[in-house]
Amino acid sequence: QKEVEQNSGPLSVPEGAIASLNCTYSDRVSQSFFWYRQYSGKSPELIMSIYSNGDKEDGRFTAQLNKASQYVSLLIRDSQPSDSATYLCAVSSGSARQLTFGSGTQLTVLP
C-alpha cells in the first residue's frame, strides 16, 4: 500500500513569515511530486510540481525533493492571509502514473 504522510496540522504562522510544509512517501519508485492548494469547500489547484532532486522555485513558493530520504517539502515565503488553505502533497507512481494524496496540512496565516 503506497502511503503519503504529511506533517500534522493545523499550522499557524504570522503574516510575512515562512511556512514550511513537509511530506514523506513510501513508494521508492515514485516519479513525480505535486503540491496542491485547497481552499475550504473548493477543489484542489496545482501550485507546484517537482520531478528531480533539489529545489524548484516559483515566486514565493519553493519545492524541495530528496528522493534518497523519500521526502518532499514546500516553503512559502512572505506568507499572506490569502495563503490560508489546506495543502495537499501528491505523489505519482505506477504505470498509469496515478496520484496518491496525503491527508493535507491546514495552514493559517495570521494578519
Partner 1 sequence: DGGITQSPKYLFRKEGQNVTLSCEQNLNHDAMYWYRQDPGQGLRLIYYSQIVNDFQKGDIAEGYSVSREKKESFPLTVTSAQKNPTAFYLCASSIGGGVLAKNIQYFGAGTRLSVL
Residues contributing to the site for partner 1 (CB under 8 A): 4, 31-32, 34, 42-46, 49, 51, 88, 90, 92, 95-104
Length of the chain in terms of residues written: 111
Nearer to partner 1, 69 or 95 (CB): 95
52, 78 Cβ separation under 8 angstroms = no
DSSP 95-107: TTTEEEE---EEE
- The distance of closest approach from Cβ of residue 48 to partner 1 in the complex, given in angstroms and rounded to an integer, is 11
To partner 1, the closest distance from the beta carbon of 19 in angstroms equals 19
Least Å distance, CB 22 to partner 1, is 15
Nearer to partner 1, 76 or 88 (CB): 88
Question: Hey, what's the cell of 62?
Answer: 519553493
Q: Supply the DSSP string of 45-70, one letter for each residue.
A: EEEEEE-SSEEEEETTEEEEEETTTT
Provide the minimum distance between the beta carbon of 39 and partner 1 in the complex, in angstroms, as a whole number: 12
73: amino acid identity, one letter: S
Q: Smaller CB distance to partner 1: residue 70 or 106?
A: 106
